[in-house]
């Protein structure tokens, strides 16, 4: 009886293990089935496995991106290119391929070269405008400088104008009939009388701006 009971327990344990294994397998299958494949695998109608080379760069929300790249370059060539370069370079490579593919579809003759030519012509046009503006500015500056120099008097003329004025301010005195000297250049009255404006007796002469006491 003990032997039969032990065999029954072992069979029950095996059944439980099989159920648990099947449940895990079902969960894994359901999870893999529920995960959305990348745009490349969906376009190629294949299973998107873990570690797919296209999955990080062709999300399912952008199906046209891979469609354009596949139409111009081919999926096998793109996969080979991505495997040959470093992982940190793959995103830039995919973006470049997508841009070139879209440009080739829009312009089958020139592709992205046509866009580059348009940009180069724009750069040349803007460079010519910049050169013309700089030339006009240079001419305007040179035309203004002679007028500025002509407005400034020469050194000799400036000295001829300033020296007589200085001489007249320094020596602009005349002697009156009483021997007193007066300064006609100053517009302000002096607060005191000059000592040499007195007569020989020592008294200030009358009529020189001071009233006699």
Q: Do both 30 and 61 map to the same domain?
A: no
Tell me the residue range of the domain where 76 lies. 38-106
> What pLDDT does residue 35 have?
73
Mean pLDDT of 44-58: 93
Q: Is residue 52 part of a domain?
A: yes
| In the chain, % of residues over pLDDT 70 | 52
* H helix or E strand, kind and range, residue 213: none
**Given pLDDT bands bounded at 50, 70 and 90, which one contains residue 144?**
confident
In a domain, 44, yes or no: yes
The residue among 78, 106, 134 that closes a domain is 106
Q: Which residues contact 67 (CB under 8 A, 6 or more apart)?
A: 39, 43
Q: What is the mean pLDDT of residues 137-161?
A: 68
Q: Is residue 198 in some structural domain? A: no
Does 102 lie in the same domain as 44? Answer: yes
| Each residue's pLDDT tens digit, 67-78 | 999 999 999 999
Asked if residue 87 belongs to a domain, the reply is yes
CA distance 203 to 177: 16
Same domain, 99 and 69: yes
pLDDT given for residue 154 in this prediction: 58
pTM of the model as a whole:
0.46
Identify the three-state secondary structure at position 182. Answer: strand
Bridge pairing between strands 173-175 and 181-183: antiparallel
Q: Does a structural domain hold residue 117?
A: yes
pLDDT of residue 18: 46
In this structure, what are the phi and psi dihedrals at residue 52, rounded to the nearest 5 degrees? Answer: -65, 135
Q: Per-residue pLDDT for 127 more than 70?
A: yes
Q: Is residue 133 part of a domain?
A: yes
20 and 43 co-located in one domain: no
Does 64 share its domain with 44? yes
Both 45 and 57 in a single domain? yes
Over residues 164-180, the pLDDT tens digits come to 555 555 544 444 444 44
Across the chain, mean pLDDT equals: 72
69-121 pLDDT per residue, tens: 999 999 999 999 999 999 999 999 999 999 999 999 999 999 989 989 999 99
Residue 201 falls inside a structural domain: no
Q: In this structure, are 13 and 71 located in the same domain? A: no
Given a cut of 50, is residue 188 above it in pLDDT?
Answer: no
* 75/213 Cα distance (integer angstroms): 126
Same domain, 42 and 101: yes
Domain count, the chain: 3
Residue 78 buriedness (CB in 10 A; 0-12 / 13-18 / 19+): buried
Beta bridge partner(s), residue 173:
183
41 contacts 48 by C-beta, under 8 angstroms: yes
Q: Does 10 reside within a domain?
A: yes
């Amino acid at each position: 009886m003990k032997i039969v009971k032990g065999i029954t327990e072992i069979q029950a344990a095996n059944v439980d293990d099989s159920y648990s294994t099947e449940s895990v397998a079902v969960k894994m299958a359901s999870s893999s089935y529920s995960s959305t494949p990348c745009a490349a695998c969906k376009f190629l109608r294949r299973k998107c496995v873990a570690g797919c080379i296209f999955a990080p760069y062709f999300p399912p929300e952008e199906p046209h991106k891979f469609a354009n790249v596949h139409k111009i370059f081919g999926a096998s060539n793109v996969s080979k290119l991505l495997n040959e370069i470093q992982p940190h370079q793959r995103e830039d490579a995919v973006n470049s391929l997508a841009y070139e593919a879209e440009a080739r579809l829009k312009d089958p003759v020139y592709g992205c070269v046509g866009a580059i030519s348009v940009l180069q012509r724009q750069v040349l046009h803007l460079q010519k405008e910049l050169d013309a503006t700089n030339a006009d500015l240079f001419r305007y500056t040179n035309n203004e400088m002679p007028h500025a120099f002509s407005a400034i008097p020469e050194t000799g003329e400036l000295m001829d104008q300033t020296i007589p004025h200085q001489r007249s301010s320094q020596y602009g005195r005349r002697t009156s009939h009483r021997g007193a000297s007066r300064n006609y250049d100053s517009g302000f009255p002096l607060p005191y009388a000059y000592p040499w404006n007195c007569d020989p007796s020592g008294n200030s002469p009358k009529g020189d701006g001071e009233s006699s006491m």
